């Protein structure tokens, strides 16, 4: 690693990983604010169509399952690098990105369906919070997919991936798992409760 980091990481955590942890702690505030707003408005009375009248729980469950599986493939990629099996790591990495893309496609399909059924962004305050909340999460998945593709590119160009140093798999995996966990919370709060 470059020498400008000579002060040997007193916390014992790799610096990029530590930075990601702190970034994720701010992300909790982002989603926390959105979920709070959602819950505040959910309890109020409003006119117009509601999410319950349009959603399709089995469909969303499947796409949630896809996203959760992407966490599994992420772990498998991590595992492969630990065993320095670069080829397998690349496969699992692309699998993760693909599963993320499938989830995104599902969300786009879902949004379009809702929209055609009259549950639009401006139909009522509930619609607004729903789209901003789940859309914000979707944007995170999108950024995650881009990060995975960049990571894959880095691996191609730099004789393989590593778990520390440079653009490494470890801290991107952290981000990816976080986004998945947030979805578990959102799915529960928005669809199931």
Interface ranges with another protein (CB under 8 A)? 2-11, 13, 15-16, 18-19, 22-23, 25-27, 29-30, 32-34, 37, 40-41, 44-46, 121-122, 124-125, 128-129, 132, 136, 146, 150-151, 153-154, 157, 159, 166-167
The nearest distance, CB 33 to another protein, in angstroms, is 4
| Residue among 102 and 167 whose Cβ is closer to another protein | 167
Q: Residue 188 CB, nearest distance to another protein (Å)?
A: 20
Buried b (16+ CB within 10 A) or exposed e, 51-81: eeebbeeeebeebbebbbbbbebbebbbebb
Token couple for 97: 């990105």
In the bound state with another protein, the residue whose beta carbon lies nearer, of 71 and 124, is 124
Instruction: Tell the smallest beta-carbon distance from residue 157 to another protein (Å).
Output: 6
What minimum distance in Å lies between the beta carbon of 5 and another protein?
A: 7
Nearer of residues 5 and 52 to another protein, judged by Cβ: 5
In this structure, what token pair is assigned to residue 149?
């593709």
C-beta closer to another protein: residue 26 or 52: 26
The nearer residue to another protein, 64 or 186, going by C-beta atoms, is 186
Q: How far is the CB of 166 from another protein (least distance, A)?
A: 6
Q: How far is CA 68 from CA 74, 78, 120, in A?
A: 10, 16, 27
Helix (H) or strand (E) holding 128: helix 125-157
With the C-alpha atoms ordered 141, 145, 146, 151, is the resulting torsion angle positive or negative? positive
Task: Report the distance separating Cα 6 and Cα 142, nearest Å.
Answer: 35
Other CB atoms within a 10 A radius of the CB of residue 94 amount to 15
């Amino acid at each position: 690693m470059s020498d400008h980091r000579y002060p040997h990481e007193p916390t014992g955590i790799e610096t990029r990983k530590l930075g990601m942890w702190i970034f994720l702690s701010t992300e909790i505030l982002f989603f926390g604010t959105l979920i709070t707003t959602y819950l505040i408005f959910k309890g109020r009375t409003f006119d117009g169509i509601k999410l319950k009248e349009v959603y399709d729980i089995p469909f969303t469950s499947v796409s949630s399952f896809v996203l959760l599986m992407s966490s599994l493939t992420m772990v498998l990629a991590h595992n492969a690098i630990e065993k320095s099996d670069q080829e397998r790591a690349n496969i699992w990495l692309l699998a993760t990105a693909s599963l993320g893309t499938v989830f995104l496609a599902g969300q786009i399909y879902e949004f379009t369906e809702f929209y055609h059924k009259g549950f639009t962004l401006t139909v009522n305050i509930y619609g607004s919070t729903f789209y901003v909340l789940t859309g914000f999460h979707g944007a995170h998945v999108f950024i995650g997919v881009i990060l995975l593709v960049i990571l894959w590119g880095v691996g191609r160009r730099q004789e393989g991936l590593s778990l520390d140093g440079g653009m490494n798999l470890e801290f991107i995996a952290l981000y990816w798992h976080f986004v998945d966990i947030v979805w578990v919370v959102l799915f529960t709060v928005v669809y199931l409760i």
